[in-house]
Structure 1
Amino acid sequence: MIFYSSKIPSNTLQTIDQDYYWFSGTAYLGIAQHPTFKRNLIESLVQWGSSWGSSRNNNVRLSIYEEAEQALAQFFGAPAALTVASGMSAGQVTVSYYQSLEYHVEIAPKTHPALWPHHKHLPIDSYEEWASTISENISKNLAEKIVICSDSVGSPYVEDFDFSWIKTLPKNKEIVVVIDASHSLGIQHIADFLGFEPDFNDNVHLIVTGSLNKAMGMTGGVILGKPEIINHLRHTPMFAGASPMMPALLDAFMLSTGLYYEQKEKLIHNIQYFTENLEVDYLDTIKNYPAFCTHREGLHDFLKNHGVMTSCFPYPTVHDQPVSRLVISAMHNEDELLYLAQLCNQFAKISG
């Protein structure tokens, strides 16, 4: 069933027929609804307007882009950053560039379409199976230049990916690893989902792409990597010919940097409070991660009947078993989190 709302949900969702507690979406930090960020955005709109109708490579440029990209690189712990109009653009600009240089492309299972090259199909094996053979397959591949693409974390069904395979890649080839971290940026450091501190200057070049329209609360995308790579991507036709991010959003980010850290602390507290009150084992998640998933039938309808709205749809195809996904955000309070946990506990008892 589809529900329509004339108002963006925060911790509640208002529909035509009923109000619900909202435990869905990807606004993990609640930035877009936060009064401080909205005030900063209004101030930024006055200065920068709503859009910049020009190529970023024009001879006239807005200083806010380079300033914000330096701030984003520092915020995410990367050497350099490049902003684009969306997370999809971030992935496609990156992958298309390496395809133009005739790099062979390998894709991990469950990778987002942002990193799909043309005429390439996703592997059907599990991530673990793929990871266990990728280094050997790369060694046997006749190509000397290779791009490997992966998501940072499974979505919409939560799955923790083991990136230790990166350390086993052959040293005698030019290898670029591109990771779409759309669901990690802002709530996980790069080292958190990699499992080790990233070395952007290693012979295996790391690039992180992602949407800023989730935890970061901004319509746009970002590419993170070493300055030389970012400079190459900046001069590609796909970047030069695309409209940039809204400049006022980037200015609002710079005015609100402290708020992001505050909201992350609230989010971690909310996740821990929810899990402490949870007495079930049918919800899959990752430590300190805001999404909880299950294939167990009936949970979505049970919660909806008790005034809680989550997401539930088949994935990855319409023929697959529906995924129920519960999302905790920094906007929730303890009463709401306790209510959700109690409902999940109650459902476990009645569903067996």
Structure 2
Amino acid sequence: MTIDSYPGRTIQKNGKEYLYFGGTSYLGLQLDKEFQDLYIKNLRRYGTNYGASRKSNIQLKIFEEAETHLAEMVGSESCITLSSGYLAAQLVVQTLVKQGHPAIAVPNAHIALSTDNVIQTASSEEFHAKLTEILNLDKDIVPAILFDTIDFSKGQYPDFELLRQLHLDKIILVGDDSHGMGIVGAKGSGCYNILNQLKPAQLIVCASLGKGMGIQAGAIFGDKNTVDMLRNTAFFGGASPASPAFLNTLINAGDIYKKRRARLMGHLEYMEGIPHIKQLFTHITGHPTFEFCNPELAKFLEQNGFVFTNFNYPDDNGPIVSRIVLSAHHKKKDLHKLVDCLQTFIP
């Protein structure tokens, strides 16, 4: 399905209007006029693009200001930003592998956390076996565990049961918090503080800021020594930075984020209170997504005027991902219509 404008509450398909419950615009900021006006103001100040290296002899102070702001927001010692979440994840993983740390991805880890040298696992049993094998080879080896903080198969947030089974004092945790930043945690701070309480040997969290925060950028959070080490890599120096206009928008949009997140949490509270919902979906409590694997339900929803996330992921050979996504741009009547429809569905 190809469209010619950003999808909001509704979407046009074959000349018909559908309610749109897909994508990753959790706060609905991309079409929010107040947020857009703030961005346009910053765009006029900083221009459409800033392509110079972060190691250039000319430095824009907005980068340091935004990174300090983000570190304070999530509760980390330090932070660096890049132009995308994918790039942020690759910087972390490639650097750790180059340093000699064995890297193991838990089942369902995002492709951004993958390189040719990352050990992939397809089940919890295989993951534990691979990790045990590495730890038994050399007690001085510190492996890196790669995972999505928001695992839609319910393996991580909010309890992180898989991680709690491990000897984390001997492990580097690398979490991709792209679906958590701006959404979960205290005031939308994401999962950094939750993971830090598990006391791993080292914690690094990377994230896209596009989903929850509505800006095109990626970020890496950790202790100062780790972040400084990543900052000094050729990878970071050679990569184009995040847009300064976007970063200043993030700093200035605190009240907008607060208002939009409160609205989203109200939508989520309503949906989580419908008993029938729990029978149809796999749902992570506290997160505005509802997964399902039922072609019959998918067809039923579309026939009744709903478009949602429904495609093979991460490539054509992957499983079909079907997901209802709530957004702050939805109205209460949209949710009521969705719930009324779901309550008439008989498997």
**d(CA) in 1 for partners of 2:154, 2:168:** 32
Taking a change above 3 Å as real, the CA distance of residues 343 and 87 of structure 1, as seen in their structure-2 partners, is: same
Q: CA RMSD in A?
A: 2.5
**d(CA) in 2 for partners of 1:324, 1:40:** 34
Aligned length: 342
* Counterpart secondary structure, 1:149: strand
With the length of structure 1 as denominator, give the TM-score of the two structures.
0.89
Taking a change above 3 Å as real, the CA distance of residues 110 and 249 of structure 1, as seen in their structure-2 partners, is: same
Taking a change above 3 Å as real, the CA distance of residues 134 and 164 of structure 1, as seen in their structure-2 partners, is: farther
The answer (yes or no) to whether the contact 1:278–1:344 under 8 Å persists in 2 is no
Q: Deviations over 1:278-318 (max 9, x none)?
A: 52402110112111011112222221122111122245664
The answer (yes or no) to whether the contact 2:192–2:205 under 8 Å persists in 1 is no
Aligned to 1:107: 105
**d(CA) in 1 for partners of 2:283, 2:56:** 45
Aligned to 1:304: 302
Deviation at 1:52, TM superposition (A): 0.8
With the length of structure 2 as denominator, give the TM-score of the two structures.
0.90
Deviation at 1:322, TM superposition (A): 2.9
Aligned to 2:337: 339
> For 1:221-300, what aligned pairs fall within 5 Å after superposition?
221-277=218-274, 279-280=276-277, 281-300=279-298
Taking a change above 3 Å as real, the CA distance of residues 208 and 69 of structure 1, as seen in their structure-2 partners, is: same
* Counterpart secondary structure, 1:346: coil
* Counterpart secondary structure, 2:42: helix
AA aligned to 2:10 is: T
**d(CA) in 1 for partners of 2:78, 2:22:** 32
* Counterpart secondary structure, 1:6: coil
> For 1:1-352, what aligned pairs fall within 5 Å after superposition?
3-15=1-13, 17-126=15-124, 129=125, 136-142=132-138, 144-155=141-152, 160=156, 162-164=159-161, 166=163, 169-170=166-167, 173=170, 175-189=171-185, 196=194, 198-199=196-197, 202=199, 204-277=201-274, 279-280=276-277, 281-315=279-313, 318=316, 322-347=320-345, 349=346, 351=347
* Counterpart secondary structure, 2:97: helix
**d(CA) in 2 for partners of 1:27, 1:158:** 21
Deviation at 1:38, TM superposition (A): 0.6
The answer (yes or no) to whether the contact 2:102–2:142 under 8 Å persists in 1 is yes
**d(CA) in 1 for partners of 2:2, 2:249:** 29
Taking a change above 3 Å as real, the CA distance of residues 221 and 121 of structure 1, as seen in their structure-2 partners, is: same
Structure 1: runs of 5+ lacking an equivalent = none
* Counterpart secondary structure, 2:44: helix
The answer (yes or no) to whether the contact 2:312–2:319 under 8 Å persists in 1 is yes
Q: Which moved more, 1:76-85 or 1:328-337?
A: 76-85
Structure 2: runs of 5+ lacking an equivalent = none
Deviation at 1:166, TM superposition (A): 4.4
AA aligned to 1:27 is: S
Deviation at 1:250, TM superposition (A): 0.6
Identity %: 29
**d(CA) in 2 for partners of 1:137, 1:279:** 44
**d(CA) in 2 for partners of 1:213, 1:192:** 14
Deviation at 1:133, TM superposition (A): 5.5
